[in-house]
Amino acid sequence: MSIHIGAKVGEIADKILLPGDPLRATFIAENFLEDAVLFNEIRGMYGYTGIYKGERVSVMGTGMGMPSISIYARELIVDYGVKRLIRVGTAGSLNPDVHVRELVLAQAAATNSNIIRNDWPMYDFPQIASFNLLDKAYHIAQDLGMKTHVGTVLSTDLFYSKFFEQHLALGKMGVHAVEMEAAALYYLAAQHGVEALGIMTISDSLVNPDEDTTAQERQTTFTDMMKVGLETLIAE
């Protein structure tokens, strides 16, 4: 066991999906995996390992925000040997051409967090996805006919922020969406030499608020990113 994950070594696959919502992890395990076995429920952060198209994969919730995903992703990488990590979460559109239910593949993640800056105060360390995973995910989404955007997201520390106008200004500079985890995941992947990618479904829009979805829809109906994530995990 690690400090926050109750699994024994060997109970977690070397490739994993990371939804923020632990109930989305349960949904994925119940609807996409065969012979799924619960390996963690500490703090209600459910994690499962099962079989997808003959391949052993895992899925586990990470909670909301960069501090939370940093804990789980680090332990998965360092204590359990996970090599391929794909975040499947929600994001808010900052661009009028990026609509609810469409996918965003986070090629890079800008951030207003000090998590990375604490380690590298003299540099703007770039948070970028694994190109291998990004390339695979894009072509898988295209083959499945899913509307998909590739580009930069903003990983922010605050959901309720007074910097709403600044977020929208970033949207005008090509930032597709705002979310809360990708930059930290990419940083950990860079630190430990593993692959990481963020696949986000647009659940709401800062520029088209009439498109927003409900909490239940966010938990159980954003299956496109789950399919792309799982196919990318097992792609050679």
Catalytic residue numbers, as ranges: 204
For 191, the enclosing helix (H) or strand (E) is helix 182-192
- DSSP-derived secondary structure letter, 75: H
In this structure, are residues 70 and 127 in contact, taking their beta carbons and an 8 Å threshold?
no
Sign of CA dihedral 21, 22, 23, 29: positive
Does 218 show up as a binding residue in the annotation? no
43 is in an annotated binding site: yes
Find out whether 117 is annotated in a ligand binding site.
Answer: no
* Ramachandran angles phi, psi of 5, nearest 5°: -125, 130
Tell me if 20 is assigned to a ligand binding site: yes
Q: Please report, as a single letter, which amino acid is at residue 51.
A: I
Q: Annotated binding residue at 90?
A: yes
Distances (CA, A) of 187 to 113, 143, 153, 162, 214: 12, 29, 14, 26, 31
Any known ligand binding at 89?
A: yes
SS3 65: coil
Residue 180 annotated as binding? Answer: yes
Q: DSSP 3-state helix, strand, coil percentages of the chain (rounded to 5)?
A: 35, 30, 35
Paired residues of 52 in beta bridges: 55
Tokens read off for 36: 């799924």
Is residue 24 annotated as involved in ligand binding?
yes
Q: Is 167 annotated as a binding residue?
A: no
**203 marked ligand binding residue:** yes
Report the binding-site residues for a purine D-ribonucleoside.
Answer: 4, 179-181, 203-204
Report the binding-site residues.
Answer: 4, 20, 24, 43, 87-90, 179-181, 203-204
Report the binding-site residues for phosphate.
Answer: 20, 24, 43, 87-90
